[in-house]
Amino acid sequence: CCAKKEAMKLTCSTADLNRALTIVSKAVPLKSSLPILTHMLLSADAGRLTVSATNLETAISMHLEATVETPGALTVPAKLLRELISNLSTDTLSLTVEKERLSITAASHSSKINGITAEDYPKLPTMPESGDYINFDPSNFSSAVSHVSFAAAVDESNPIYSGVFICHDNKVLTLAATNGFRLSEYKLPVVDAECPYFEIVIPSKTLADVARILGSSAVPIKFVLNDSDNLALFESEKVLITVRLLGGSFPDYKKIIPASGSISAEFPCVELYEAIKMSSIFTTEISDPITLVLANSGEIKISVNSAETGEHLSSIPATVVGDLTVSFNQKFLQEFFSNVKYPKVRIETNGNTSPCLLKPLESDVQFLHILMPLKINE
């Protein structure tokens, strides 16, 4: 994976290197039984420096332009290198490797960091030059991920629930996530794809990092599935992110999605979110209930009643069919409205113990969210 063992000499932009270190650091573990994994790999060849890191589940590599006098490679402690480079104010800096030490020179500053030979670093995956692929629009992909990743389980005791299910079928990508009490599903059409049907599960936190890192890219994100190594690869501009897939079968979530509900309400998204945030001030635990009362009179009442803190009541205008009093986990409500921003949302259900379906009133958006109500003792 590397060039010459103990030689490297180059000049590069301080800002470019700092940005690369910030992005690649997402793949550096805080602690590891393998000390070299807390290092970053620096490798230089004609006209560029590549910064890489891996925790053996996720690998990130980023290229930056450099004037390379001598190609070479070395691994250096990630935290120390990041702190040093982020505090340099010079436009450019020089990197030189001699005998497993990295010398950094920038104006009046000179540092030497002890490294480990690049030959000991794990071999990193590379993007294949040909084969099946999907090209995503970065902004659309990032939006799709933000619609679903928050619904995954935080607790990793059942790993499959901490992942995002991704299915490709005839140039439509379906993303879904659930923790057993809520569910998000988003369908993303893709224009440029040469790829057969597949179903995979990617760790939710990792996929959110992919979306954050590549979501503002100026060129499409290339996605490739490496079945033999159980990897998903995402590449855009100068960044390559490789993710190990989660094993196991994702739950058959389709069966809990209600076809329709006899009780419904349409309401302004921002107004309900503001009311929920006001009510949550009176909750003491993140799982405390907030109660919604849907009334045919044309409003939704949002309330919380706590023996410890007191009570709060808000109301917002809504188009309501039927009457319903239903309670939800306040954290789940807040996370839905903080991640899903549309002018108006519709809620449908068949009762206060049935799954509640939430979806935007935007005709061109294929998104839905399911919330399970809380059972409240009267």
| Percent of the chain with pLDDT strictly greater than 70 | 98
Residue 325 has pLDDT above 70, yes or no: yes
> For residues 192 and 222, is the Cβ–Cβ distance under 8 A?
no
CATH 3.10.150.10 residue window(s) in the chain: 7-120, 133-254, 258-371
By DSSP bridging, strand 92-98 and strand 7-13 are: antiparallel
Does domain 258-371 match CATH 3.10.150.10?
yes
The CATH class given to the 133-254 domain equals: alpha beta
Q: State CA 96 to chain mean position distance.
A: 35
Residue 2 has pLDDT above 60, yes or no: no
For residue range 26-71, what is the model confidence (pLDDT) as tens digits?
Answer: 999 999 999 999 999 999 999 999 999 999 999 999 999 999 999 9
What is the CATH code of the structural domain delimited by 7-120? 3.10.150.10
Nearest alpha carbon to residue 242 among 2, 88, 41, 53: 53
What SS3 state is found at 260?
coil
Q: Tokens representing 310?
A: 């007191």
Mean pLDDT of 169-185: 97
Mean pLDDT of 158-181: 97
